[in-house]
Amino acid sequence: MKTDELGLPKRKSARLRHYDYREPAAFFVTLCTAERRCLFGHIANHEMHPSRLGCLVRSAWDRSREHTPHVLWHDMVVMPNHVHGVLQIVTPAQAATREGFGMPVAGSLSTLMRSFKAAVTLEARKRSLIGPEPLWQGRYYEHLIRCEADYLRIVEYMANNPRQWAEDRFYVRQG
């Protein structure tokens, strides 16, 4: 395994190498809880039953529209230990530089995800829904949606996700 100058493991970025994540585009994102803990609710009879924390996540997604006028926050599904969502940057973020590791740029996809996760965590702690432990996994998955067929496949996947929970790669036996 490669290491950085401090001897720490170098992580390979999942991001597209020369893509500007401030530009108009649609993205499918997946955000997981830390250690894949089932904090957002449970699946019973192929339906998601959100916890108070799961309802907060849904509400925060919907409220994100108020703070990011350059972004459309489309479909999303809350699962027991992760969230899938589709969002679309509709106008370029007004920032002088491209984002780099450790150098966030306002309006970029990674800054949007970091802000969303921080807002949920802050509100969850205010409401005593979680303790001091991390709520979210540090990274997130992102897929650039390139065409309508891709978008339709993703929306169908999200809609069916609760019914297919036992086959999901994030599945954790509950109870």
Q: How many CB atoms lie within 10 A of CB 173?
A: 6
Inside any domain, residue 96: yes
Confidence of residue 11 (pLDDT cuts 50, 70, 90): very low
Instruction: For residue 32, give every residue at least 6 positions away whose Cβ sits within 8 Å of its Cβ, in sequence order, or none.
Output: 81, 82, 136, 137, 140, 170
Indicate if the pLDDT at residue 101 is higher than 90: no
Inside any domain, residue 118: yes
Inside any domain, residue 18: no
Inside any domain, residue 157: yes
Inside any domain, residue 46: yes
48-77 pLDDT, tens per residue? Answer: 999 999 999 999 999 999 989 899 999 999
Instruction: For residue 23, give every residue at least 6 positions away whose Cβ sits within 8 Å of its Cβ, in sequence order, or none.
Output: 89, 92
Rg for the chain (alpha carbons), in Å? Answer: 17
Instruction: Give the chain's domain count.
Output: 1
Indicate if the pLDDT at residue 47 is higher than 70: yes
Inside any domain, residue 170: no
Confidence of residue 167 (pLDDT cuts 50, 70, 90): confident
Inside any domain, residue 16: no
Indicate if the pLDDT at residue 79 is higher than 90: yes
Inside any domain, residue 13: no
- Domain that residue 82 falls in: 25-165
Per-residue confidence (pLDDT) for residue 92, from 0 to 100: 76
Q: How many CB atoms lie within 10 A of CB 29?
A: 18
Indicate if the pLDDT at residue 4 is higher than 70: no
What CATH code is carried by the domain that includes residue 127? 3.30.70.1290
115-165 pLDDT, tens per residue? Answer: 999 999 999 999 999 999 999 999 999 999 999 999 999 999 999 999 998
